[in-house]
Each structure stands twice: as C-alpha cells, then as structure tokens.
Amino acid sequence: MYTIPSAPTIARPRKRRVTRHGKQYWRQAGIGILFALPSLAGCMLFIIVPFFDALRRSFSNGMQVFVGFQNYRDIFTNASFLRAIQNTGRFIGLCVPVLIVISLALALMLSDRTYGRGALRAAFLMPMAIPVASIALLWQILFNRSGVINGLLMQIGVQGVDWMKTDWALFCLVLSYVWKNIGYTMVLFIAGLAGINQSLYEAAAVDGAGKVRRFFSITLPCLRPTLFTVTVLSLLNSFKAYREAYLVAGNYPQGSIYLLQHTLNNWFTNMEIEKLSAAAISTALVILVLVALLNWAWSIDASWEA
C-alpha cells in the first residue's frame, strides 16, 4: 500500500518570554516607573508627607511636645466642632440620596430619548464648566433679600425672606450641590446603562415583565458597580460644597450651613494647627470608614445575588 508522506513540520521560532530576571522586563518596568514618577512625586510631596506631618502634629502641642490624645479630646468637646459635624452629616444625608435619585432618573430618560439627547446632556453638564465664584454670585442674585426669588414672590403678594440667613439656607446649599454635580453623575449612569445587554430586557418583556419589574430586576442589579462608584464620588464631592457656602456667607454663615470646613478654616486662620491637624485626621478616618462600609455592603449584596 502506498502511503502519502506527511508534510515536513516547520519549527516555529519560540517567543521570547519576558521573565522577571530578564533585561527586557527591567527595561519595561523602568520605563513604567519613569512615566509614573512625576505623579508619584507630586502625591508624595503634597499628600503623603503633609498627612503624616498632620498626624504628628495632632499628638503634640504648639511647642512640639507630645501630649497624647489631648487635641482629640479638645476638638470633641468643642461646641462649634460638634455643631459643624452635625450640620455636615445632615447635609450629606440630604444631598447624596437626592443627587443619586435625580441623576438616575435623568439618565433613564435620556437613554430612551433619541431626539435632542446630545443637547440635553450638554445642558446638564454646563454647570461643571462654571467657576465656583460665578456660582456663588448666581446664588446671591437668586436668594438674596432683594434677589430674583423674592421679587417673584412679591409679585404674587408673598413676603420675601433672606434665604441664606434662615433655616432654608441648608436647602439652598443642597440645591446648589445637586445642580452643580447632576450632569457628571448622570453621565456616569448613562455609561453604566449603555453596558447592560439589551437582550435581557427583550427576554423579560417576552415573559411579561413590566417597566418597573425590569428596572428592579435588571437595571439596578446591573448598575451595582456604577452605583457604588457614584455613591463614593458623591460622598467625596459633598465635602467640597464648603466653597459655595464660604463665598456666599463668609466664615460664620447661618447656623444650619456652618459646615466642618468652616471650623477647619477658622482654626487655620487662628493658627490653631494642633486642633486643625486632629480634626483633619479624624475627618480622613471617618471618610475611610464610610468608604470601607460602602464597599463591604456592596460586596455582601453581590454575594447574596450570586
């Protein structure tokens, strides 16, 4: 029997593997470190070193003598600091949920809408391009005693008030925060919605699921990573609302918007660096704990879904 000879095998050249001990590996690692070095140097110089210096100062007095937890006892028995903590917690508890709910609703609306969607997205993103000082001037024009809102109220026979000097000041600050951050948060939700497989909605619609059922059974579970990112960013950005409150009302605003950053700024002005350092370290620890709790809650929820 005649056997057809098999084709000769051609030896393929082996790819050179980049090992940890090879010159190519260290060359690539060196290039990566070189590109990251400016960012690492800036982070070290302006964040890491000042943080540890503040940690050192929080346990010492003005003469740089170690005093233990005395500075921490002083700040947590300070009436203005405790009031600032209460107001900051109330502000975060109001603005973060309101921002997330409204942004998600707008994202759902713009995801289904096709006509004018780009223009609406640009309109909601516009507040992010406005400087903080301009925003403060805008809110003064709106909420001042002789501002636009009081002028409209007087047209219908309602007596106006100085909004920024009453308990309404907190809600004005919440409105300012939501208005400024709603566009960015909405874009994050739109990106998360775009990543959801549309076949899931089609299969659910065939099974007879309505819009509400599809939202809670498909949209929200698939948006869990985006929702976690949005919640953390909104929490961190809420601590930056001090700029608007400071520019509108100064160092000592109405009591409901006297935030934690007001106390820190006043201690810095009075050169009470030790109290300032202790308050800054405490704030950093609280933020770290909140983010860790959010991460833990999301991981527990994900494990239950799995």
Summarize pLDDT for 66-108 with one digit per residue, the tens.
Answer: 888 999 999 999 998 999 999 999 999 999 999 999 999 988 8
Cα Dmax for the chain? 112
Q: Which of 106, 87, 84 is nearest to 95 (CA)?
A: 87
Confidence band for 114, pLDDT divided at 50, 70 and 90: low
CATH level 3 topology of 75-131+164-305:
MetI-like fold (1.10.3720)
The pLDDT assigned to 18 comes to 47
On whether the CB atoms of residues 252 and 262 are closer than 8 A, the answer is yes
The residue that leads in pLDDT, 302 or 168, is: 168
Q: Is the pLDDT confidence value at 130 over 60?
A: yes
The pLDDT assigned to 26 comes to 81
Give the pair of three-digit tokens for residue 66: 């170690």
Spell out the domain ranges in the chain. 75-131+164-305
The pLDDT assigned to 134 comes to 82
User: What pLDDT, in 10s, does the model give residues 198-238?
Assistant: 888 888 888 888 888 888 888 888 888 889 889 988 988 88
On whether the CB atoms of residues 305 and 297 are closer than 8 A, the answer is no
The residue that leads in pLDDT, 256 or 13, is: 256
Burial class (CB in 10 A: 0-12, 13-18, 19+), 74: middle
